[in-house]
Amino acid sequence: MKYTLNTYGWSGEFIGKSLTKEQTNQIESLKEDRQVDELWEIRFDIDDEMDFDIWDGDLLHINKPLHNGTAHFEVIDSAGEIVLKFGIEDIEPLDIDLDPYEVYPTENADVFFTIDENKGGYCSYDFESDEVPQVEDFSFTHTTVDTPEGFWEVIESFLFKGDDLEMYDHLDSMGKSSQVYIFKEEPVFRYNPNLCACHPDNGGDGTCQCD
pLDDT one digit per residue (tens) for the chain, 211 residues = 999 999 999 999 999 999 999 999 999 999 999 999 999 999 999 988 888 888 999 999 999 999 999 999 999 999 999 999 999 999 999 989 899 999 999 999 999 999 999 999 999 999 999 999 999 999 999 999 999 999 999 999 999 999 999 998 999 999 999 999 999 987 554 555 555 666 666 566 666 666 5
Residue-level pLDDT at 37? 93
Residue-level pLDDT at 49? 86
Handedness of CA 78, 82, 86, 87 (dihedral sign): positive
Distance separating alpha carbons of residues 120 and 115, to the nearest angstrom: 16
Q: Provide the 8-state DSSP code for 40.
A: G
Residue-level pLDDT at 140? 97
Residue-level pLDDT at 75? 97
Q: Are 16 and 112 in contact (CB under 8 A)?
A: yes
Q: What H or E segment, with its residue span, contains residue 9? A: strand 2-19
pTM over 0.75: yes
Q: Give the CA distances from residue 96 to residues 92, 108, 138, 141, 204, in Å, rounded to whole numbers and listed in that order.
A: 12, 34, 15, 8, 49
